[in-house]
Structure 1
Amino acid sequence: MSEPQSPPGVVHRETPHPLGPDPMAALEASAWALAAALGTMRDALSAPLTEVLAASPRRTAVLEAAGLLSWDGATPVPHPSLVPADGPAGRSAVEARLSSLRQAVAAAAQASAPAGGGWAELDDEVLLNQGRASAATGRALATRVVPRLTGLAERLDTADGRVLDVGTGVAALAVALARELPRVSVVGVDILRRALDLARTELAGAPDVAERITLRHQDVAELTEVGAYDLVWLPAPFLAQETLEAALPRLTGALRPGGWIVTGTNPPAADPLRAAVGRWTAVRNGGNACDTDRMAEDLTAAGLDDVRRFPTVPGGPVLVAARRPIS
């Protein structure tokens, strides 16, 4: 007798599937576990976590099963990733994750999978939530990274200190930088006019720093300034690959000698699934799949030196910094 043949298109596996005997069911359960986590985080923004957990014991049991919650007697011990930051930044971070989940559902419902639409296809609410969440990055950049980059804190503590915020969006990161660095001027550039319109409204609610923030409608790949900035912030994953490649030498030239560029990057994925999802979502959202290691190489190739890495949270974004040589 001949060996049984698998149906066309079906791959026969000799080893157990990493998601178990029914991987589709495991993926569906993971989606519901994410929903439980985000719902809990959202509720915890307005009530103590202990009350939130007690109010929905079945949802809480899902968090336990997912390894996001344990107990010390009667005291809940949440995984750090389950605890949102305090205040508006925490709410924006939760809403940003919810927006990502909605995008995943929308992708599943589409007959085809268009790529490269990017931020222009997102509605104002998503732009605001995603943008406001970046305020936490701005504060971390100013308070944790700048002091550790040679000479930068001193440069930014003068009336001549200048910062370029690439892809400023709704200007939340620019506002955070201006508040933490009270003597600098920040220039925010973005290619999406609608985002800049939202940014101007946001700046109207930040009169303490608005006069030190300038917004420009500009493609960073066409930047022409030379020796103008002490610090450049570049959220690398959000730029299309061709834009990133064209922009990097221009951003290097826009730095003053001794100035620093700090790039937001995603670390290399820990497993094939996350790697594949990262590549798909990056291209689908108009970005790129350049990870931390590749960015460090690209910064060095652009003529920058003293490349440094600053992890944020375990498994989360890594800030990669490099300096334009003084001579």
Structure 2
Amino acid sequence: MSVSPSPPGGSADPLAALEASAWALAAAVGTMSDALSAPLAEVLAASPHRSAVLQAAGLLSWEGGTPVAHPSLVPADGPTGRSAVQARLSSLRQAVAAAAQEPSGGGGVGWAQVDDEVLLHQGRASAATGRALATRVVPELPGLAERLDSADARVLDVGTGVAALAVALARALPRVSVVGIDVLQRALDLAVGELAEARDVADRITLRLQDVAEVAEPGGYDLVWVPAPFLPQQTLTLALPRLVQALRPGGWLVAGTNPPAGDPLRAAVDRWNAVRNGGNAFDADRMAQVLAGAGLGDVRRFPTVPGGPVLVAAHRAGG
């Protein structure tokens, strides 16, 4: 996205450009949300001024009167689109909170301080990652699909939040049981409400208030999911040996990570956002090194959507 307005007199104003970019993002998210229930061409025609913002931002062009949207505005399917909208809304809400409430010294506030709406939006956005994990990653990891197609198949969902990823996994993998752990009771309370709307899989999902650094279930799981950016670096360091032991021999650990940033601004924003939320700044490259250093092998990477999470998988030998 490139929006570079200039104030009267023609001198560049970086703050004005950033403010315009925020509005351009709002236009994109609003368009994506409306397009979940109506054809995109109708959505664009219904709000021509908003569409003009998209065009100025490089997200929309015209060919003979026909709108041509950037691929990022056109999700592959409805569930992916809903997750993308939830993720962008969560990001916008967190940015507003950071502007209004950033503590002195720039320290983090953590997930315990955000409101329920942000927790729900962020959590629901993870459903897309769950579907990608189940449908794109699992079939590519040797032996894992067969393991997860057995009556005793078990998955550990670290940092389950409102359980959206757990629900997505349970729906896509109909024989697995999912254990979701989190340190935030309020998130688990919200998860109970979400499971009430997912009765088709709720009986295969168990929620547990637990610190990942205290997991002690050797050989308990065929697949362990770790949302790496959301864990403090110290917690991740303490937890990783326990998570490796929690894998059954031959099992896989998959970590969700941020892609390596392509520019200094994105890199700085990623680091700030991670630290604000009590997480760490490891990207996919660093996470691959960490997993290999923990004794896991056959490290593989799976991009999801452009600019979105990169799933890094690693294998426990044996089995």
Query: How does the TM-score come out when normalised to structure 2?
Result: 0.92
Equivalent residue, structure 1, for 2:47: 56
Question: Per-residue deviation at 1:92?
Answer: 4.3
Counterpart AA for 2:276: R
Equivalent residue, structure 1, for 2:303: 311
Q: Map residues 101-250 of structure 1 onto 2, 5 A cutoff.
A: 101-110=92-101, 112-113=103-104, 115-250=107-242
Counterpart AA for 1:43: D
Equivalent residue, structure 1, for 2:3: none
Equivalent residue, structure 1, for 2:69: 78
CA distance in 2, matches of 1:74, 1:64: 13
Larger radius of gyration: 1
Secondary structure of the structure 1 residue equivalent to 2:107 = coil
Deviations 1:125-177 (A, max 9, x none): 22112111211111111111101101001111100111000011111111111
Given that 1:115 and 1:285 are in contact with CA atoms closer than 8 Å, whether structure 2 keeps it comes out as: no
CA distance in 1, matches of 2:102, 2:263: 28
Deviations 1:250-286 (A, max 9, x none): 1011001110001100111111111111111110111
Counterpart AA for 2:110: G
Q: 1:283 aligns with which of 248, 265, 275?
A: 275
Question: Per-residue deviation at 1:21?
Answer: 3.3
Q: Map residues 28-47 of structure 1 onto 2, 5 A cutoff.
A: 28-47=19-38
CA distance in 2, matches of 1:123, 1:112: 17
CA distance in 1, matches of 2:126, 2:120: 10
Question: Per-residue deviation at 1:24?
Answer: 2.0
CA distance in 2, matches of 1:101, 1:187: 30
Aligned residues with identical type, % of pairs: 79
Question: Per-residue deviation at 1:84?
Answer: 4.4
Deviations 1:198-244 (A, max 9, x none): 11122122222111111110000111111111000111011111111
Q: Which moved more, 1:49-58 or 1:271-280?
A: 49-58
Question: Per-residue deviation at 1:22?
Answer: 2.6
Distance of aligned partners of 1:245 and 1:233 in 2 relative to their CA distance in 1, 3 Å threshold:
same
Counterpart AA for 1:101: L
CA distance in 2, matches of 1:240, 1:277: 17
Distance of aligned partners of 1:261 and 1:124 in 2 relative to their CA distance in 1, 3 Å threshold:
same
CA distance in 2, matches of 1:305, 1:164: 19
Hey, which bits of structure 1, 4+ residues long, moved more than 6 A?
none
Equivalent residue, structure 2, for 1:23: 14
CA distance in 1, matches of 2:160, 2:252: 18
Counterpart AA for 1:229: Y
Secondary structure of the structure 1 residue equivalent to 2:206 = strand
Deviations 1:3-60 (A, max 9, x none): xxxxxxxxxxxxxxxxx93322221221121121112122222322112211222221
Question: Per-residue deviation at 1:106?
Answer: 2.4
Q: 1:261 aligns with which of 236, 248, 253?
A: 253
Question: Per-residue deviation at 1:102?
Answer: 2.3
CA RMSD of aligned residues (A): 1.7
Distance of aligned partners of 1:227 and 1:267 in 2 relative to their CA distance in 1, 3 Å threshold:
same
Is there any run of 5+ residues in structure 2 with no aligned partner, and where? 1-10
Query: How does the TM-score come out when normalised to structure 1?
Result: 0.90
Secondary structure of the structure 1 residue equivalent to 2:151 = coil
Count matched residues: 308
